[in-house]
Amino acid sequence: MTATLRLALAQHDFPVGAVAANARKVRELMGAARAGGAALVAFPELTLSGYPPEDLLLRPSFLAACQQELDALAADADGLAALVGFPHSEGEVYNAAALLREGRVAQVAHKQALPNYGVFDDQRYFRPGRASTIAVIDGVRVALLICEDVWQAEPAAAAARAGAELIVVINASPWGAAKAAEREAVLAARARETGCAIAYLNLVGGQDEVVYDGGSLLVNGDGTVAARAPAFVDALLWAEFDPATRTLHAQDWPIAADASAEAVLYAALVRGIRDYIGKNGFPGVLLGLSGGIDSALTLALAVDALGPDRVTAVMMPSRYTSQLSLDGARGQAERLGVDYHVIDVEPTVESFIHALTPAFAGKGADTTEENLQSRTRGVMLMALSNKHGRLLLATGNKSEMAVGYATLYGDMCGAYAPLKDVYKTVVYRLSRWRNESGNVRVAGAPPVPRAWTIPPAVIDRPPSAELRADQTDQDSLPPYDELDAILERFIEGEQSQAEIVAAGFAADTVHRVVRLVLANEFKRRQSAPGPRVTTRAFGRERRYPITSGWR
């Protein structure tokens, strides 16, 4: 028996559906782990298929391709053991992890606890495993668990009863603001309950509306955290396990330069944009730059994710656009070095109004004319997207989407919405943090010092859609501090209106906000996807009926 067990944890991105490419990456990382003397290298949940593969799992050809690549990888597993996630089809389909060693599939572990909440839908596709799997590697009894297995007490307890000393758990655990603390609490509890040390490996990368942060962990047998990997960093993480003391020791793990809540959330949004654009093969993005804070933050995120050469910003002024907006948009575009255009929408809006005037006879001006401005901009942006092949980013935030303060086929146009799950108050926080951080983080390039990234005047101004004279958002909505507090209680907290009023909010305001949320589900169903960063994101996580009598 060796004094310690040397591990390598592949905190990397394995995109959904890229079966052959994922297998090539596994083979490459297996080689690096072997060269570094690892006895065991672990890969994230459903490594070969990517997570979540959703209804790809219903295609026999997809399952067969995953099995074919797994068998080929097994032939290369010589000189170390490799734990590789894959969908295991044997009449029924299991979320599985294969232990490859000595040129073969030596053992297969099946996920026992199948989550069916939030963004998870495992019970639609998989059957549960019935037992924990123990492998002996360099004399150490290692339990092989998968994601939710460690969030429930029994799979780890069963592994301990079977004599496990170390639990290796592979994961595809989405990021959320409170997730790191939750993981640590759960892993500490499992370690204390079982006396086993835990090596927790997590996927990293963006997949449609979900962002995985990595954030892998080493937890000792007494429940203390031995090491934390940074969020949104791809890395092969090295560790040593001492079976005598049931402790884990990290070796040269990367350290986050800024681990603040704002820094990690910003990194999540950047990774979401980068992976959505990259994995879908778009050469770049474009967005409407209005001179407001939402589009300004979206532009900063896009540049940090893709670099300025892949970003186009378009200012589309009307008669109501202020000089502050014009100056702020131009100043930010020039400072960040993006392709920038100004297209006056006023003539087009006037032509629409002229064409519609006979049909509008007898009706006064209202939000119809305001929405025509927004929809004109949407048409122009979509035309530019088509012509240049750059994906259009929608710039709306969660506060607006919650209450329907957005125009269908206008400012809601876009194929990806980076701020869709970010409340307006958090938009302000992120914008101030981005300016204070002092550097533009361009992917693959060294930081470039700048005095600011988002114009301070844009941050300080009262928010306005600028669709009529002297308009501000607070003409139609409560102040954002109050609005967001109510929305968080109603959406994330699932509190009733009575509970929110009892917490100190004005009853009339609460009833109005809730009425707006419930009445605008039809808009949200037509909105672009965006990265999930809260516990109740609109889309696959929060699914309310459009037609409902519940108020």
Residues recognised as catalytic = 45, 111, 147
3-state percent breakdown (helix, strand, coil) of the chain, nearest 5: 40, 20, 40
Residues 371, 344 contacting (CB under 8 angstroms): no
Q: Is 252 left (phi over 0), alpha (psi -120 to 50) or beta?
A: left
Name residue, tokens 């920038």: 340
d(CA 24, CA 505): 56
Residues 211, 531 contacting (CB under 8 angstroms): yes
Residues 430, 452 contacting (CB under 8 angstroms): no
d(CA 110, CA 86): 10
For Cα atoms 11, 13, 15, give the angle at the middle one, nearest 5 degrees.
150
Beta-carbon contacts of residue 119 (< 8 Å; ≥ 6 apart): 52, 174, 209, 210, 532, 537, 540, 541
Neighbouring C-beta atoms of residue 511, cutoff 10 Å:
14
Q: Is 21 left (phi over 0), alpha (psi -120 to 50) or beta?
A: alpha
Q: What pairing do the DSSP bridges indicate for beta strands 104-110 and 210-213?
A: unpaired
Distance of CA 278 to the CA centre of its chain: 15
